[in-house]
A and B are shown apart, each in its own frame.
Chain A
Amino acid sequence: MSGPSTYEPKYAAERWLDKRLPIVRFGVDFMAFPSPRNLNYWYAFGGILTLCLMSQIITGIILAMHYTPDVNLAFDSVQRIRRDVQFGWLIQPMHAVGASMFFLAVYVHMFRGMYYGSYKNPRELLWIIGCLIYLVMMATGFLGYTLPWGQMSFWGATVITGFFGAIPVVGESLQQWLLGGYSVGNPTLQRFFSLHYLLPFVIVALVALHVWAVHHVGQNNPIGIDPKTKEDTLPFHPFYTMKDAFAIGVFMMIFALFVFYLPDALGHADNYQKADPLKTPPEIVPEWYFLPFYAILRAVPDKLLGVILMFAAIAILFILPWLDTAKVRSMRFRPVTRWFFIIFILAGFILGWCGARAPDDVAIPIGEGGLTFKWLSRIATFYYFAYFIPILPIMGWIEKTKPVPDSITKAVLSGDA
């Protein structure tokens, strides 16, 4: 798919270098990468995610110069950053809001892949590497949220590490090993900081594999058929560099809106209060990007079962390529499954809503006593899993798909792409 290299060294020095280390050739071929000509804006999120990762690393390294991972000093050191460090008032919210933006982008990116069937042959590994990135991102986000050592940092860490305690037999010792003690304390904070600094670079390595895989198998596209002729593709540069740059610019405006005008909107007020191990906050809620999984965890009465379900909700993403049995990739040609997919997204939002509310509060006032968040999250959890098994495999066998265009160019010219 990447095609033969088109690079021709022009000068003696370039030829000398090309023979020994074809790094310029690599760059030139990278930019000339043939991309389907019908990619829409949902395909800009890969570029947006790259920007997010770079922004997190750069702001994070600067924060780490001023941050102190000690239970007595961490909270105040973040305040020092926001108040006294040159441009700390900008860098700290960029990092905190940036984490939310990163997850916003990754969710769109994943839903995009699910809608256009980008996980199917030959892109299974590409998808799995993506799931790994998501997993490591979640770990990084969780560890990072602990660092400012506010009330939510502390109690969130306590609740989440508590999940490991639910594992039979080894749970308790595993939990103590993770925490470095019987409860969340200074050893926990120090190791969380160390790992929070490490994991982003693991993400960088995984992203390199991810991009390598994309370049090997080629990009999928909104109609999900392979490019057949040269006409079906355009060189990455300048066509998609410019389209992505525009999309990144728009994304930066949303990012800036939150950083400058709503820096606290995505956080929790309790985290402006120093961690107090003796005072449990009235409610413990994780960051918004974990809420759907938190809702799944709380949907069942048994703690261990909840933990298993929560991990299963992520694990099932890894085997998605083999659960979807359809030959046609894009949902555009799958009139019924498309609706199942849209309901799946809705279920995700509903789970997020449930995760933010107390389980026994009434969500929808119908019937006697109304539908509580607990029951709503049970319904949504059930659908979440039902989408993967059995809806996807069965629909793949029985659904009558719409006719797929012959080629990307034909579809583009007839206005169907």
Chain B
Amino acid sequence: MLKMFTKTIAIASVVMFSLFISAGLASAAAAGAKPDKQKWGFKGPFGTYDRPAMQRGYQVYREVCSSCHMLEQLSFHHLADKGAPFYDADFPNPNDNPVVKAFAKDWEIEDVDQDSGDPITRPGVPADGFPHIYPNAIAAAAVNGGAIPRDLSLIIPARGGGADYLYALLAKGYVDAPDGFVVGDGTNYNTYFPGNQIAMAQPMFEGGVEYSDGTKASVEQMSKDLVEFLAWAGDPKMEVRKKTGFGAFLFLFIFVLLLFMTYKEVWRNVKH
């Protein structure tokens, strides 16, 4: 009887968890086409980010997307943290990393003059956050036909479809609208965008950037690289979390085994 009770609860819990999890995913994808699953090196219990791909992804972001989308949760120095795209073991302090210093210098940062107190702009330093592009949401909408280009640093965790969705949206979604589908003014057809009408025109075209490592810049390649970079931007501590998790499991496994043996030993002479 107890066994049956146990079984009922166990089965029911498994069913419940899978239902809730699948319910979340299913409903998130309901409004656009369901993106195909891609192979990502950062998925799975031992997943890690592909560093060269992230570096290329940053280049695409910088050269193509950064005029409209910001990376709200990132500062330049984050790019040189341990596990980040431009980490360099010779510069344990990310603020000293020359690559990232050069990136930061490339941006104009609003500041206050230290003598006069007047507003000025100066070249960025690694401690600066990625600057805002628009003074406010109204300004952002005004220059983008009423739609707001979102922050990209959390775009992957913020979408139910995650990396697969972003890849599909950028690399596969911009196709001709099916017959009879009326695309609204200032919008573009996209298979994977909820509602299929996106205010963003297709941002990437073959050869849109020139990779210094010789990789061919196809739309698929650029999209893959971008996703790799943005996946890191959304969850920069993923690698350390999974690595620690493995250690934690090893410890817990031995610990639980010892507890089980102690428990059996204590109860050895007691029938129960």
B-contacting residues of A (Cβ < 8 Å)?
A: 37-38, 40, 76, 79, 82-83, 89-90, 93, 104, 108, 111, 115, 222, 234, 238-239, 242-243, 245-246, 249-250, 252-253, 256, 259-261, 263-266, 268-270, 272-273, 282-283, 288, 291, 332, 338, 342, 345-346, 349, 352-353, 356-358, 412-413, 417
- A90 partner, pick from B28, B244, B260, beta carbons under 8 A: B244
A256 to B114, CA, bound (A): 49
Q: For the complex, is B256 an interface residue (Cβ under 8 Å from A)? A: yes
B219 to chain A minimum Cβ distance, whole angstroms, is 25
Contact flags B182-213 to A (C-beta < 8 A → 1, else 0): 00000000000010000000000000000000
For A266, list chain B residues within 8 Å (CB).
Answer: 20
Let me know if A260 and B157 touch, CB within 8 A.
no
5 residue pairs from A and B, CB less than 8 Å apart: A93-B241, A245-B262, A250-B256, A269-B158, A272-B154
For A265, list chain B residues within 8 Å (CB).
Answer: 21
For B1, list chain A residues within 8 Å (CB).
Answer: 332, 338
A243 to B271, CA, bound (A): 14
A272 to B157, CA, bound (A): 6
A261 to B234, CA, bound (A): 15
A-B contact count (CB 8 A): 127
- A108 partner, pick from B9, B237, B241, beta carbons under 8 A: B9
Given A89-B240, A242-B266, are A345 and B159 neighbors across the interface (CB < 8 Å)? no
Binding-face segment, B11-19, B101-109, B120-128, B220-228: B11-19
Let me know if A76 and B2 touch, CB within 8 A.
no
A332 to B12, CA, bound (A): 20
A352 to B13, CA, bound (A): 11
Q: For the complex, is B242 an interface residue (Cβ under 8 Å from A)? A: yes
Interface of A is mostly: helix
In the complex, which residues 14-67 of chain B have their Cβ closer than 8 Å to any Cβ of chain A? 15-16, 19-21, 23-24, 27-28, 31, 45
Let me know if A245 and B263 touch, CB within 8 A.
yes
In the A-B complex, the 10 residue pairs with the closest CB atoms: A260-B245, A89-B237, A272-B158, A249-B256, A356-B23, A272-B157, A242-B263, A246-B259, A269-B160, A246-B263
Q: For the complex, is B181 an interface residue (Cβ under 8 Å from A)? A: no
A268 to B15, CA, bound (A): 19
A332 to B72, CA, bound (A): 58
A79 to chain B minimum Cβ distance, whole angstroms, is 5
Let me know if B20 and A352 touch, CB within 8 A.
yes
Let me know if A234 and B256 touch, CB within 8 A.
no
- B2 partner, pick from A259, A261, A332, A342, beta carbons under 8 A: A332
A352 to B17, CA, bound (A): 10
Let me know if A238 and B24 touch, CB within 8 A.
no
Q: For the complex, is B173 an interface residue (Cβ under 8 Å from A)? A: no
Given A243-B263, A269-B160, A357-B23, are A40 and B73 neighbors across the interface (CB < 8 Å)? no
Let me know if A256 and B256 touch, CB within 8 A.
no
Let me know if A249 and B8 touch, CB within 8 A.
no
Known: A242-B267, A246-B256; 17 extra A-B contacts, CB below 8 A, are A83-B237, A89-B237, A89-B240, A246-B259, A246-B263, A253-B256, A256-B245, A260-B242, A269-B157, A269-B162, A272-B154, A272-B158, A288-B20, A291-B20, A345-B8, A345-B9, A353-B23
A407 to B137, CA, bound (A): 73
B258 to chain A minimum Cβ distance, whole angstroms, is 9
For A256, list chain B residues within 8 Å (CB).
Answer: 245, 248-249, 252
Let me know if B256 and A261 touch, CB within 8 A.
no
A356 to B17, CA, bound (A): 12
Given A249-B256, A356-B24, are A260 and B241 neighbors across the interface (CB < 8 Å)? yes
The CB with the most chain B CB atoms within 10 A, among A104, A252, A273, A417, is that of: A273
A33 to B162, CA, bound (A): 52
A288 to B13, CA, bound (A): 12
Given A243-B267, A269-B160, are A282 and B236 neighbors across the interface (CB < 8 Å)? no
Q: For the complex, is B69 an interface residue (Cβ under 8 Å from A)? A: no
B160 to chain A minimum Cβ distance, whole angstroms, is 5
Let me know if B256 and A352 touch, CB within 8 A.
no
For A242, list chain B residues within 8 Å (CB).
Answer: 259, 262-263, 266-267
Contact flags B161-172 to A (C-beta < 8 A → 1, else 0): 010000000000
Given A90-B241, A261-B45, are A349 and B27 neighbors across the interface (CB < 8 Å)? no
> Which residue from chain A places its CB closest to the CB of B22 in the assembled complex?
A356
A252 to B45, CA, bound (A): 18
For B19, list chain A residues within 8 Å (CB).
Answer: 352-353, 356
For A356, list chain B residues within 8 Å (CB).
Answer: 19-20, 23-24, 27
Let me know if A246 and B260 touch, CB within 8 A.
yes
A352 to B9, CA, bound (A): 15
- A349 partner, pick from B15, B241, B255, B270, beta carbons under 8 A: B15
A104 to B12, CA, bound (A): 13
A173 to B255, CA, bound (A): 55
In the complex, which residues 135-161 of chain B have their Cβ closer than 8 Å to any Cβ of chain A? 154, 157-160
Let me know if B271 and A249 touch, CB within 8 A.
no
For B45, list chain A residues within 8 Å (CB).
Answer: 261
For A111, list chain B residues within 8 Å (CB).
Answer: 9
A283 to B28, CA, bound (A): 9
For A246, list chain B residues within 8 Å (CB).
Answer: 256, 259-260, 262-263
For B154, list chain A residues within 8 Å (CB).
Answer: 79, 272-273
B68 to chain A minimum Cβ distance, whole angstroms, is 18
For A243, list chain B residues within 8 Å (CB).
Answer: 263, 267
> Which residue from chain A places its CB closest to the CB of B243 in the assembled complex?
A260
Let me know if A222 and B2 touch, CB within 8 A.
yes
Let me know if B31 and A261 touch, CB within 8 A.
no
The CB with the most chain B CB atoms within 10 A, among A243, A269, A291, is that of: A269
The CB with the most chain B CB atoms within 10 A, among A222, A249, A252, A357, is that of: A249
A90 to B242, CA, bound (A): 11
Let me know if A270 and B245 touch, CB within 8 A.
no
Given A353-B19, A356-B20, A357-B23, are A345 and B245 neighbors across the interface (CB < 8 Å)? no
A43 to B162, CA, bound (A): 40
A166 to chain B minimum Cβ distance, whole angstroms, is 26
A276 to B120, CA, bound (A): 31
A291 to B15, CA, bound (A): 15
A243 to B261, CA, bound (A): 10
